[in-house]
Chains A and B, each alone.
Chain A
Amino acid sequence: MSMIRRLKWIGALGAMLLPALMVCAEQRFPPPDFESGYTLPSPSTPPARALWLQYADTGVFLAALAVALWLIYKKRSRRGLFWLSLFSLAYFGFYRKGCICPIGSPQNVVYALFHPEYALPVTALIFCFAPIGAALFAGRAFCAGVCPQGALQDLMLVKPVAVPPWLEEALGVVPFLFLGAGLACAGAGTGFVICRYDPLVPFFRLSGGTFILTAGAAFLLAGMFVGRPYCRFLCPYGGLLRLASLASKWRVRVTPDICTRCRLCEQSCPFGAMREPAPAEIHPTWLGAERRRLGWLLALLPALVIAGAWAGSKLSPAAAQLDPGVALAERHARQQSHPARYGFMTPEALSLQRAAENPGAILAAAADMRRRYDLACWLFGGWMGLVIGVKLLALSVRPGRTDYEPDRGACMACARCFTACPNERVRLGLAPAGEGSAPS
């Protein structure tokens, strides 16, 4: 590498680190100093970390991502990926307690876009975009060995059963809808609902509410028979990686050589990502019907987006109540018309008392939030229409595959299918040469 190029890299790295130095650990309010010896518990889980440790986490994360790529493409090693995912589960899951993780990080980015006063940490930026960058070039390497949620579900997998394709496709839009909802809330400024409703993080933290623990347990139990149900049917970041992977430069291939169409890999993927080659001949009468359907669906797409946006805008009064400020304003206003009796000194009673003291401020803040939600819900509704419309279109386009290969978006690059291929077994020396040759 030339000196100029090296200097450019150092300069770019310095520019990235500079903003982080400016926002380094500043205690917003000094905590009270208890004289009884009581130690204040950390207000956040996991506790705030020194800046250098955050960079160390980022370094470990990038290294794990690089190792995953090497294991998938260079070593083609399922065993290596298994050990890497165990490490990720231990480090990013149980040690770092699931935070910071890329799944919630798009919310940080969107929050920063709509709230200029928020300093987006460099670490959040890297955690958000590094896996997407990797997916743009080489698929879902993050899901393969770096994601602790994925690793936990992988460990639970006992006897995978195939999800019917029609159900798989229908449930496949849920991550995109969850992504839209999460980003809408983050943009409005209410909080990070993707993190709040992550069903697996409570297991890393060994604590959580009843609802979320039950949901997490349900996912893990389902994960014994359905490969990675959270990743496939809920994870919003998985949705983003899925999109990025569709445009990836390199892709995971089952065979290291020529596909013999032996179909031995057909059942090897527990995530329903394996796709058969498209039939060569097409019935001429179908072609016209398919084209007409495609035309109709193309025309339907803008209508779905507009209808979604309209429906979303109607959701705003309810969705805004996710915000504690709006919820308090609602409760305060409701209290005037239908007074409810709350327990003495309960949080509800105290909050109402405070609201009555300064209703103007409470209502002004709530009104501001409601306006934000008006826009957020409008965008969310439009996004919902777009996702469903595009998915309908995708299901109406004939694939052009010639080999048995994993679907680019759905493939989690777990490397399970590699050893199902006779050519791979020959390459590994597990089968005699000639077993994987093309049929005559």
Chain B
Amino acid sequence: MNTPPVHRALALTAWIAGVFCLLVCGVMMEEHFAAGTNEPWTSPQLLALREKLAAEPKNAALQKEIRQLDLKFRRKFRRRLALDKTGGWLLAGGGLMLVLAAARAAALKKPLPQPQPEDGAREQAVKQAARARWSLAGAGLAAAGSLLIIRLGHTSVLPANPDAWQKLAVKTGAPETPMENAPALSEFQANWPRFRGWDGGGVSVPASNAVAGILWRSAIPLPGNNSPIAWGERVFISGGTAARREVYCYNASSGALLWQRAIENVPGSPPKVPAVPEDTGYAAPTMATDGRRVYAIFANGDLAALEFDGSVAWTKYLGPLNNPYGCATSLATWGNNLLIQLDQGGSRPAGSKLISLQGASGRVLWERPRPVPASWATPIVIEAAGKTQIITLADPWVISYALAGGNELWRARLLENEIVPSPVFGGGLLLLISPGARLLALRPDGAGDVTKTHLAWASEENVPDIASPVSNGELVFTVTSSGMAACFETRDGKKLWEKELGTDVQASPGIMDGRLFILGEHGPLVMLQAGREFHEMGRIPVPDKFVASPAFAGGHVFLRGVTNLYSLGPAASGLARQP
């Protein structure tokens, strides 16, 4: 039978297109494999030069050589990409031609259907089914064999039981910085090492003097909403703008600025900082100290540890931080541990975590993901139920973690709204605020979800939305943003009194020497008796705006205003003003 000329032409076209495709494919593959190690990120030559540069960072000739070689490899790489792209289009064109011509040629030669007699159809069907069953069994065995090969080819060096992996972390971690002797607990208690004092409760050790007026005030170079912390003769605060972040150390007696240190060139921190709402600013989190160093964190994610002389011990970039109002959760210290609650996300969790660092080295001791969105409350550390627990708040969970290892101990679903007030521990109960909704008391023991079993009481009266509560063990005191102060029994939540103070309040209250200190947003510092009956003991006017909470140390009260740092103490006369 003669082949029609159209068919011959189509077949020839298909052959030519096929050969063309093969040629293009061959060239592309040759280029691909020839490139081999001549790529900027895999070239052994370039890697060796870079390693050499790490040892001699100022070797200009070496830098030049690396740049030239890098540029050469990058050019080659770009050329290959362009070649790939051109080759891809040529292949597409050739392939289309091949398929069109071959399909048309095949259609011209398509035989007509010629059904054959159906002899022994049943036997054939039975045989086919039997063959299919066997081939299926073979396929199953092949699949099982493939999985076995994958299993054998990917052996694991990790223990079979994942619970044992934490032990491995201790073995395989970076060499540990020798553990320092942490200051005694009494030293922490005598000072004000973190937001709201040594345990975050806002209660100071008794002092011998009465607070009567302003002793000194000192200008603060950069703005910030963080509260002062104090250790010995030093008071620390931080300040920051989009352009600059700094830490300040003042003399506690005179108010003199001892040093100020800019936190810059933090490895990994991008030069351009993210925008942060003006009300929060770049330095909202309160610093913390372990008596050896001070620690500061800023809204752009920069974390710094400074020695008491102002030199930088280490820095770390924890950002970028995803917090709609900006990072405001303060740092916490306990012994040699620095604790950072980094809750992130809008309405949903987005990388929230709790981190424990070794203060001396900045080494991460452990890190735990948290199932919560952004929050602004500061964690506290308590000794309860025979364990040292870290108590964290965020919508909707109160979660307790073990200080050693960071394992979750228990959790309770009790909170709602934007969580700003921090928890306190008094009278054996955790006292928490679900902003604008409830004041809650929770027993800090148990395991797992204790929502339904451990809530001691809840009150819906005079619930603050910003200020944290304060407790002397027997009583709990709260103050709302509008200045309504209230007192409750710690034991059962019974309200004993409430009083309108006539001032807006954003700062959290504190207790010293049986006196409750409440700082108005525009002053004054109101002193009430921390007792079962309302009794105002005095007011000290302070001419500034206050968002930060007072610090109490050595019988003095330190206040951070928008423009100045103040020290209040026994002598009201002779206000010392530092530049």
Query: CA–CA, A324 to B128, complex, Å?
Result: 45
Query: CA–CA, A248 to B176, complex, Å?
Result: 65
Query: CA–CA, A371 to B219, complex, Å?
Result: 55
Nearest to B111 among chain A residues (CB) is: A267
Contact of B136 among A267, A268, A395 (CB under 8 A): A395
Query: CA–CA, A334 to B136, complex, Å?
Result: 39
Nearest to A289 among chain B residues (CB) is: B126
Report yes or no: B366 in contact with A286, Cβ–Cβ below 8 A. no
Report yes or no: B272 in contact with A262, Cβ–Cβ below 8 A. no
Interface flag for B160 (CB, 8 Å) = yes
Residues of B within 8 A of A343 (CB): 42, 44, 47
Report yes or no: B135 in contact with A167, Cβ–Cβ below 8 A. yes
CB-CB under 8 A for A170 and B136, given A158-B103, A363-B166, A371-B162: yes
Query: CA–CA, A37 to B226, complex, Å?
Result: 37
Interface flag for A18 (CB, 8 Å) = no
Contact of A33 among B138, B272, B349 (CB under 8 A): B272
Contacting residues of chain A (221-255) with chain B, CB-CB under 8 angstroms: 224
Residues of B within 8 A of A368 (CB): 162
Query: CA–CA, A396 to B115, complex, Å?
Result: 27
Residues 28-51 of B, flagged 1 when their CB comes within 8 A of A and 0 if not, give 000010000000011010011011
Nearest to B365 among chain A residues (CB) is: A360
Residues of A within 8 A of B64 (CB): none
Report yes or no: A318 in contact with B99, Cβ–Cβ below 8 A. no
CB-CB under 8 A for A170 and B139, given A330-B156, A344-B51, A360-B169: yes
Nearest to A327 among chain B residues (CB) is: B154
Residues 325-351 of A, flagged 1 when their CB comes within 8 A of B and 0 if not, give 000011011101100000111110000
B529 to chain A, nearest CB (A): 48
Q: Give the segment of B140-148, B283-291, B447-455, B512-520 that binds chain A.
A: B140-148
CB-CB under 8 A for A317 and B126, given A345-B47, A364-B166: no
Residues of A within 8 A of B121 (CB): 276, 279
Report yes or no: B364 in contact with A206, Cβ–Cβ below 8 A. no
Report yes or no: A344 in contact with B125, Cβ–Cβ below 8 A. no
Interface flag for B238 (CB, 8 Å) = no
Interface flag for A49 (CB, 8 Å) = no
Residues 150-165 of B, flagged 1 when their CB comes within 8 A of A and 0 if not, give 1101111110101101
Interface flag for A156 (CB, 8 Å) = yes
Give the size of the chain B interface in residues (CB under 8 angstroms). Answer: 77
Query: CA–CA, A281 to B174, complex, Å?
Result: 78
Report yes or no: A166 in contact with B172, Cβ–Cβ below 8 A. no
Query: CA–CA, A361 to B332, complex, Å?
Result: 20
Report yes or no: A367 in contact with B162, Cβ–Cβ below 8 A. yes
Report yes or no: A311 in contact with B144, Cβ–Cβ below 8 A. yes
CB-CB under 8 A for A317 and B154, given A156-B99, A170-B138, A358-B367: yes
CB-CB under 8 A for A117 and B371, given A336-B172, A356-B173: yes
Report yes or no: B153 in contact with A330, Cβ–Cβ below 8 A. no
CB-CB under 8 A for A395 and B132, given A33-B272, A333-B172, A364-B165: yes
Nearest to A356 among chain B residues (CB) is: B174
Interface flag for A101 (CB, 8 Å) = no
Report yes or no: A392 in contact with B157, Cβ–Cβ below 8 A. no
Interface flag for B538 (CB, 8 Å) = no
Residues 405-426 of A, flagged 1 when their CB comes within 8 A of B and 0 if not, give 0000000000000001000000
Residues 38-62 of A, flagged 1 when their CB comes within 8 A of B and 0 if not, give 0000000000000000000000000
Residues of B within 8 A of A362 (CB): 169
Query: CA–CA, A174 to B135, complex, Å?
Result: 13
Residues of B within 8 A of A329 (CB): 158, 165
Nearest to B152 among chain A residues (CB) is: A318
Interface flag for B85 (CB, 8 Å) = yes
Report yes or no: B122 in contact with A283, Cβ–Cβ below 8 A. yes
Query: CA–CA, A28 to B348, complex, Å?
Result: 11
Contact of B171 among A169, A206, A336, A396 (CB under 8 A): A336
Contact of B158 among A33, A283, A317, A364 (CB under 8 A): A317
Interface flag for B261 (CB, 8 Å) = no
Query: CA–CA, A26 to B346, complex, Å?
Result: 9
Interface flag for B113 (CB, 8 Å) = yes
Nearest to A155 among chain B residues (CB) is: B99
Report yes or no: A337 in contact with B157, Cβ–Cβ below 8 A. yes
Query: CA–CA, A53 to B143, complex, Å?
Result: 42
Report yes or no: A224 in contact with B102, Cβ–Cβ below 8 A. yes
Interface of chain B, main secondary structure = helix
Contact of B156 among A173, A317, A332, A363 (CB under 8 A): A317
Query: CA–CA, A317 to B153, complex, Å?
Result: 11
Residues 162-188 of B, flagged 1 when their CB comes within 8 A of A and 0 if not, give 110110111111100000000000000
Contact of B54 among A171, A344, A366 (CB under 8 A): A344
Query: CA–CA, A206 to B84, complex, Å?
Result: 10
A247 to chain B, nearest CB (A): 22
A328 to chain B, nearest CB (A): 11
Contact of A364 among B170, B368, B371 (CB under 8 A): B368
Nearest to A362 among chain B residues (CB) is: B169
Interface flag for A32 (CB, 8 Å) = yes
Residues of A within 8 A of B366 (CB): 360-361, 364
Interface flag for B262 (CB, 8 Å) = no
Report yes or no: B150 in contact with A318, Cβ–Cβ below 8 A. yes
Contact of A170 among B54, B95, B132, B166 (CB under 8 A): B132
Report yes or no: A281 in contact with B122, Cβ–Cβ below 8 A. yes
Task: Name which of B44, B99, B350, B363 has the most chain A CB atoms within 10 A of its CB.
Answer: B99
Query: CA–CA, A168 to B369, complex, Å?
Result: 48
Nearest to A23 among chain B residues (CB) is: B348
Report yes or no: B32 in contact with A321, Cβ–Cβ below 8 A. no
Nearest to B142 among chain A residues (CB) is: A170
Report yes or no: A173 in contact with B364, Cβ–Cβ below 8 A. no
Report yes or no: B122 in contact with A318, Cβ–Cβ below 8 A. no
Query: CA–CA, A119 to B348, complex, Å?
Result: 10
Report yes or no: A332 in contact with B113, Cβ–Cβ below 8 A. no
A420 to chain B, nearest CB (A): 7
Contact of B50 among A330, A344, A366 (CB under 8 A): A344
Residues of A within 8 A of B272 (CB): 32-33
Residues of A within 8 A of B126 (CB): 286
Task: Name which of B50, B121, B133 has the most chain A CB atoms within 10 A of its CB.
Answer: B133
Nearest to A343 among chain B residues (CB) is: B47
Contact of A166 among B99, B134, B165, B320 (CB under 8 A): B134
Query: CA–CA, A263 to B115, complex, Å?
Result: 6
Residues of A within 8 A of B160 (CB): 317
Query: CA–CA, A350 to B102, complex, Å?
Result: 52
Report yes or no: B156 in contact with A396, Cβ–Cβ below 8 A. no
Interface flag for B106 (CB, 8 Å) = yes
Report yes or no: A165 in contact with B50, Cβ–Cβ below 8 A. no
Residues of A within 8 A of B132 (CB): 165-166, 168-170, 395
Report yes or no: A158 in contact with B102, Cβ–Cβ below 8 A. yes
Interface flag for A122 (CB, 8 Å) = no
Interface flag for B270 (CB, 8 Å) = yes
Contact of A282 among B85, B122, B320 (CB under 8 A): B122
Interface flag for A103 (CB, 8 Å) = no
Report yes or no: A330 in contact with B157, Cβ–Cβ below 8 A. yes
Interface flag for B274 (CB, 8 Å) = yes
Residue contacts A-B, CB under 8 angstroms, 15 given? A30-B274, A33-B272, A165-B128, A317-B160, A318-B153, A336-B172, A345-B50, A346-B42, A346-B47, A357-B174, A361-B366, A364-B169, A367-B166, A371-B162, A384-B140
Q: A159-B103, A171-B139 are in contact. List 15 more A-B contacts (CB 8 A).
A: A165-B128, A166-B135, A170-B136, A263-B115, A276-B118, A315-B147, A318-B150, A359-B174, A364-B166, A364-B367, A365-B369, A366-B162, A366-B165, A367-B163, A396-B129
> Nearest 10 A-B pairs (CB), nearest first?
A367-B162, A344-B51, A263-B115, A318-B154, A317-B156, A358-B364, A361-B367, A169-B132, A170-B135, A166-B131
